[in-house]
Structure 1
Amino acid sequence: MYKQPFAKTLKPLVCLALVLFLCIDVFAQTADISKLRQQMAQTKDSITYLNLFNKLGFMLHMKSADSCFYYGIKGNAMATRLHYEPGKADALANIGAALSLKGLYSQGLTYYSQALAIYKKNGNHGEVASMLMNSAITYSFTGDSIKSLQFTKKALNEILKAPADSMASMLYANYADMNPILTPDSGEFYLKKATKVANHFKDDRTLLVIDQLYADRLMQQSKHEQALPFIKHSLQIARSKNWEYHELEAYNAYADYYLAKKQVDSALAQYNIIYKTALANGFVYWQTEVLKLMLHCYELKHNLTEQARINKLLVSSLEQSNVNSNAFLGDYIAYNNAQQQVKSLELLNKDNKVKIWLLVTLSVLGFVFIALLWRMYGKVRRHSRMLSILNEKIAGQNEELKLTDEFKGRLISMLAHDFRAPLASTISMIRLLREDEGDFEKKQLLDLYDLIETDIQNILLTFDNILQWIKKQLSGYVFNAQTLSVNELIDDAASMFKLSIDAKKIVFRNEVPDNLNYFSDKEIIQFINRNLIHNAIKFSPAEGAITVSAQVRANELVISVKDEGKGISENMLKQLFSFNNNQKTESLDKGAGIALTICREFITKINGRLWAESTEKKGTTFYYALPLEG
């Protein structure tokens, strides 16, 4: 059966981009962006400038949702200042598009609704239809097929009221693609209707999308050879028009075709073209997604070396995305609104001062004017107090944002540290096999390959779990508790380092009772377990032993990790959990010290504590204690 690991998730984004395109009549191509910026630099009319500004914001939406969001916020502020409702509606539509692309569907629908109300008020039927269809597509993202279909039908009804143009063709195509209850014949009817309208208006972009929809339908029916001409034609149109984004979609369709034909190398060639083009043109969304597809192909080929390379690129891409992305859109909107309020109050304060000076000048006219002056002075004082309070509020919000950014940095450090060691160990094993493959028997090689595959699968599973946990923590730490088996946590954490344990012939003892459970945040505790076990392995001698045990003391559950290494000096123990960038000793390296510092910061969030005891040349024991309910 034909499978599309990525194209089916991409298609709604394509539809969204094109429906918005119909509203603004431009698309994100490099030449168009440069031309538009030149026009903006030359115009002196505020309304014209705002219209160009909104268009530029939209043109950037498929390259960077953050840029589209920034232009939407600024465009909304300009439109409010100019009292220009069409410009405000366009800016709100840009904000909605950016939020939807960010996955904030509820907020995106809110802004689409606001833009829709303005378009309805001004009788802009074409724009009303666009907002209805964008809402339908957004509901399809959330899985609400009922509302998606309702809004699609509303959009079709609305377009009948608008002057005849090519917008109807895209709406018909979307309706055929998004309506799950349509029979194949009904879907074919609407696609032909869309093609007829697009041909009438010579709308090559819509014809290109219709080709891709036909190709998709045929591929889903396993009619691969029948789909190929539509894929080729869509690529031909995209190249002739220099539509880079559509060209990437066509290459992706080609890759799906080759995968269906089990030609994995040909599919990889298409994905490499997509990846290079995405990097060159700044298409942020494609960069991470195509790496996932390439990883899938190398898994099909069982190419562990390339899997490791792509995994490394994927981790780097995700980390860079976290660093550069304005993920805290809600905080930014609140902050932006507060800044706007400050500016309004500053303008009001300035206006009141002018009035005061005028009243001073007119005070010679009598006691009545002096009384009025005092009244205005009191008014200014009240506004000053309001301004002072608001400034304090903003200072507090800035501090909160700083703490949130620091916590996000800790999350990224946690992710990088947790996977550097096991991935490095696995890569070292792969290199060893490559260099000494002839020294192993076939059964030994198969056993090693199975071990490496199991390790990588465990790493990926843990990676996915931590990513989900980090996603929930991006706006600040949220306690996410569940009932945990402490014994199983220790086994899971140790499994990440099985290759290292086996390589050093270390005896690993898990002496935690099987029936010992604890209710807390799993990912924080596992981060601590992994780091303490990793340190114990690193500093244990060959054929040494590591013992993990648990005791209940007073109102605490105490977990200990003991090794037989050369120990830590008393001076180093005092500095162990306040490690700085310049510290490095023979007993502890820089990475381990930073990780221990993060461990202590994390465990305090669940009201626990972390410490170590050591005797030089006799080993070290790390402890952490978790509170028990009264």
Structure 2
Amino acid sequence: MGSLKKLVFLIVWACFIGYQVPAQSNIDSLRTLLTVTQNDTVYVDILNQLSKACRWNQITDAIDYAVKAEKISQTINYQQGLALAFHNLGVLYADKGNNELALEYYGKSLRIQRIMNNPKAMAHLYDNMGLIYRRQQDFEKALEYHNQSLKLKKDLNDTIGIAYSYENIGLIFSEQGKFDKALIHYYNSLRLKESLNDKYGMANSFGNIGVIYLKIESYDQSQVNLERALMLFQEIGNKTGIAECQLYLSDIYQNQKNYPKAIDALEQCLAINNEKGNIKGLADAYLKLGNVNILRGRSYLSHDFYLKSLDYYQRIEDLKGVAEARLALAQYYIHQGDFETAKMQLKTTLSLLKTIYAPDLELKTTKLLVSIFQREGNYFKTTELLNQALIITDSLNKLNLEKEVTQIQLQYEFDKKILQKEFEDIRTKLETEQRIKRVSLVRNITLLAFLLLSVLACIIYLKSKKMNRQNKVLEHQQQLIGQQLVELKTQKEQLQIANHTKDKFIAIIGHDLRNPFNAINSFVSLVMEHPNGYNEELVKKYLLLIKDAGANAQSLLENLLEWAKAQSGELIARKERVVLNSILRGNVILIKEMAEQKGIRLIEELEDDPMVIIDKNMINAVIRNLLSNALKFTPAGGTIWVRTQIKGHEVKIVIQDTGVGISPGQLGILFDPGSVKKGIGGIASSGLGLILCKDFLEKHQQELRLESTLDVGTTFWFYLPITEVHEHH
């Protein structure tokens, strides 16, 4: 990758894929320059370049170069070189998993860049600090720093930087489990990159989108997006990107139980990373190869792969990677029945995890050790580790409280029952031992007295410890109850607002329904009062008016039912592959006769048939409502256009009319269900059809947009992602 701008983004996907490991010849050239340079500032610049060049496969040298650059910069008061040295040290310690030290160096660099008024470098540092907080699962702080970075980039009009900020924010939402929001940010990032024809950036976005679908187990969608990313990386010749795509695709093949294909993908990944000298990539691929071979029943191969993975992680001092590899080895030894070796690996892993922040791995390791000590009958060690597991579980629960309250309670109760069972087992065992000892009382009364005193002391200690733990549990439960009361109060206030909005909305719906039925009653009454008093032409006119009023009432009722389903959560987007133009033409045919009766021209401008993955019924309802509104508010002699425009991997659908338009005051409340909209003649309307269109498009992670000028006309449009395009003949 080579440039500082891309280096500092440090997002999971972009950082790994985009980085091109410098050739050894380049490092040697820089070292040669270092020996002949006389100028101090140039010397510092070369040291900083060497620090970046050695980042991936010579991390110890990289840190040494950065520290040397820091010391010389301070001596000669070279602030720019000092800021870059601090920045490099932050990146290197972040790679090693030392988050606190990384934040300290980023903060030092940021203070210098603020004094030098360098907003571009400040934006990069905010992104890096946001990544650290995301790793620590402090999502609120992570969002705060990425939003500060985004603001600076918007001030600088840095389009590519804005795109990558959207991607960083998407990663946070992804880890929070807010996958809809993550996808919206990824798609926003993708559109900006497509506008710049940034194929490398587009590949990153498709990769991130693919990873989201992989997390929600939508494997078909994940595969489509990862293969798009792979195709772009192949087109631009980015081998590191190709390797990362193959790494994720192997997870999909593994889920499909296509183990040969998964292994083939990982072997391609290994070949590229070996060529590039990407030690981190080699470690990741060997770890996954070990897992795949366990699943395919060839565990004898997994052992060597796990050892290679461990060796590579140790070379680059990736502590979390080392812990994952040792944990995998321990699971392998347990599977082989070698519990002693497994225990040794788990103890080493647990000691290592004390130095980094990885509570999920620490919990897995602790639970495996518990199972081994249970097997050995070491109840004291089992109890000690179970207490540690409870502490770790409590820590994880606090981090995920907002999204997994129910899960936390279930996990807590489960762990509590395990502890109770363990204590019951210990109590039963002690009672058994006491009975045995009482039988031998006559033979050795002194030994019996000693044992009884020991047992009594143990019981007192256990009870005291149990009471302390129960007190902590009660305090935690009281805190949870307090938080739940606050949440209930907030929900009560929200429900009161929602009920008020509902009452207003029902009143407007009643008015909308009353108008067409009043019209029907009026026209029918006129005809019935004077059955022979009207000529055939007038009767035909009244019948057409009655038909229009009935159609309006039916359309309103259908929209009301669909909206009610959407609000109750019963309506779920069930997506399928559909040819978009068939839906558009079907709806045009439905209104064509009514348009001709009103003297309105209906024009189709559809590009080649795009294939989209959508809920057919929802999108059909969106197009039907937009066309119905255009027909309703376009006077005789007007025109309605239905257009599609293919833009990259999306299709833009446009409904345009030359109708009465919408005033600026009505535009602001157009999608508010609790507000009154004014139709033709000032008649109150709920605008339910447009609200329904907005809800349905949001279920496709899209939004409805419009432009309108009073007395000129209105244009509605929205986007849909496409999978392929069929040429129209």
Q: Report how many residues are paired.
A: 404
- Alignment-derived partner of residue 182 in structure 2: 148
Please give the alpha-carbon distance, in whole angstroms, between the structure 1 residues aligned to 2:140 and 2:18: 18
- State the Cα deviation string for residues 49-90 of structure 1 (Å, max 9, x = none): 534543442344231233332222112211112111111111
1:100 paired to 2:134: yes
CA deviation string 1:435-460 (max 9, x = no partner): xxxxxxxxxxxxxxxx67x9987776
Residue 84 of structure 1 corresponds to: 118
Q: Is the 8 A contact 2:280 2:312 kept in 1?
A: no
Task: State whether residues 373 and 381 of structure 2, in contact with CA within 8 Å, keep that contact through their aligned partners in structure 1.
Answer: no
User: Residues of 1 paired with 2:417 and 2:302: CA distance?
Assistant: 44
Q: Match of 1:97, as an amino acid?
A: L
Does 1:314 find its partner at 2:349? Answer: yes
1:29 is matched with 56
Pick the aligned partner of 1:541 from 429, 450, 456: 450
The AA in structure 2 aligned to 1:18 is F
**Alignment pair present for 1:205 and 2:240:** yes
| Equivalent residue, structure 2, for 1:233 | 268
How far does residue 110 in structure 1 lie from its aligned partner after superposition? 1.6
CA distance in 1: counterparts of 2:71 and 2:253, whole angstroms: 47
Distance, in Å, in 1 between the alignment partners of 2:453 and 2:335 is: 39
Amino acid at match of 2:160: G
Deviation at 1:185, TM superposition (A): 6.1
Deviations 1:467-510 (Å, cap 9, x if unpaired)? 22366899xxxxx99999x99987744645877876787789xx
5 Å-filtered alignment, 1:63-462, equals 63-64=96-97, 65-162=99-196, 164=198, 166-179=200-213, 187-321=222-356, 461-462=386-387
Q: Relative to 1, partners in 2 of residues 1:561 and 1:250: Cα closer, same or farther, differing over 3 Å?
A: closer
| Cα distance in 2 between the residues matched to 1:539 and 1:211 | 67
Letter in 1 for 2:243: L
**How far is 1:209 from its partner?**
0.6
Rounded to whole Å, the distance in 2 between the matches of 1:215 and 1:171 is 19
Q: Deviations over 1:3-37 (max 9, x none)?
A: xxxxxxxxx98426437869x99794143725666
Kept after mapping to 2: 8 A contact 1:176/1:187 = yes
Distance 1:597 1:282, change over 3 A: farther
2:665 is aligned to: none
CA distance in 1, matches of 2:184, 2:338: 47
Q: Given that residues 176 and 182 in structure 1 are in contact (C-alpha distance below 8 angstroms), is that contact kept between their aligned partners in structure 2? A: no
State the Cα distance separating 1:285 from its structure 2 match: 1.6
Give how far 1:248 is off: 1.1
2: CA distance, partners of 1:37 / 1:469:
39
Displacement of 1:545 in angstroms is: 7.9
Q: 2:392 aligns with which of 467, 470, 474?
A: 467
Structure 1's 282 and 488: CA in aligned 2 closer, same or farther, altered over 3 A?
closer
Give the 3-state SS of the residue equivalent to 1:103 in structure 2. coil
Q: CA deviation at 1:541?
A: 3.1
Displacement of 1:246: 0.9
**Residue number in structure 2 paired with 1:611:** none
Partner SS, residue 61 of structure 1 = helix
Where 2:105 maps in the other structure, the secondary structure is helix
Matches of 2:372 and 2:235, distance apart in 1: 59
Alignment partner of 2:100: what SS?
Answer: helix
Give the match for residue 50 of structure 1.
83
User: Residues of 1 paired with 2:259 and 2:125: CA distance?
Assistant: 42
In structure 1, the gaps of 5 or more residues are 1-11, 328-415, 430-450, 475-479, 509-537, 549-559, 563-591, 609-630
1:98-129 per-residue CA deviation (whole Å, 9 max, x = no partner) reads 11112222221221111111112212222222
Q: 1:545 to 1:83 in 2, by over 3 A?
A: closer
CA distance change for structure 1 residues 464 and 37 in 2, over 3 Å: closer, same or farther? same
| Deviation string, structure 1 residues 144-189 (Cα, Å, up to 9, x no partner) | 1111111111110121244635222222222223236897665554
SS in 2 for 1:160: helix
TM superposition shift of 1:255: 1.0
CA change 1:267–1:170 in 2 (3 A) is same
* Residue 506 to residue 544, structure 1, CA distance change in 2 (3 Å): farther
Checking the alignment, whether the CA contact within 8 Å between 2:57 and 2:279 is kept in structure 1 is no
The residue type equivalent to 1:238 in the other structure is: N
Q: What is the distance in 1 between the residues matched to 2:413 and 2:198?
A: 61
Distance in 1 separating the partners of 2:69 and 2:373: 55
Secondary structure (helix, strand or coil) at the match of 2:198 reads: coil
1:209–1:234 CA contact under 8 A, matched in 2 = yes
Which amino acid is the alignment partner of residue 213 of structure 1? Answer: Y
Computing the radius of gyration over CA atoms, which structure comes out larger, 1 or 2?
A: 2
Does the 8 Å CA contact 1:137/1:148 hold for their aligned counterparts? yes
Percent of pairs identical after alignment? Answer: 12
Distance in 2, Cα, partners of 1:539 & 1:83: 80
Closer, same or farther in 2 for the Cα pair 1:42/1:596, shift >3 Å? Answer: farther
CA distance in 2, matches of 1:497, 1:289: 36
Partner-residue secondary structure (3-state), 2:265: helix
| SS, match of residue 541 in structure 1 | helix
Amino acid at match of 2:207: A
Query: Normalising to structure 1: TM-score of the pair?
Result: 0.53
Conservation of the 8 A alpha-carbon contact between 1:16 and 1:137: no
Instruction: Please point out which of 95, 99, 110 is paired with 1:62.
Output: 95
Give the match's secondary structure for 1:208.
helix
Q: Distance in 1 between matches of 2:229 and 2:114?
A: 38
Q: Is 1:271–1:293's contact at 8 Å kept on the other side of the alignment?
A: yes
Which residue of 1 is the match for residue 13 of structure 2? Answer: 15
Mapped to 2, the partners of 1:424 and 1:183 lie a distance apart of 37
Tell me, in whole angstroms, the C-alpha distance in 2 between the residues paired with 1:463 and 1:605. 14
Deviations 1:127-153 (A, max 9, x none): 222221122122111111111111111
Cα contact 1:425–1:500 (8 A) shared by 2? no
Q: Is the 8 A contact 2:57 2:278 kept in 1?
A: no
In the alignment, the residues of structure 1 paired with residue 182 and residue 79 of structure 2 have an alpha-carbon distance, to the nearest angstrom, of 37
Secondary structure of the corresponding residue to residue 197 of structure 1: helix
Contact 2:244 2:269 in 1 (8 A): yes
Q: Closer, same or farther in 2 for the Cα pair 1:156/1:115, shift >3 Å?
A: same
What SS class does the counterpart of residue 354 from structure 2 fall into? helix
Check the 8 A contact 2:146/2:165 in 1, yes or no.
Answer: yes
- Identify if the C-alpha distance between structure 1 residues 424 and 157 changes in structure 2 by more than 3 Å, giving closer, same or farther: closer
Deviation at 1:283, TM superposition (A): 0.8
SS at match of 2:95: coil
Greater mean alpha carbon deviation, residues 268-277 or residues 130-139: 268-277
Code of the residue aligned with 2:169 in structure 1: it is S
For 1:86, give the aligned amino acid: K
Whether the 8 Å CA contact 2:154–2:162 is kept in 1: the answer is yes
CA distance in 2, matches of 1:96, 1:138: 9
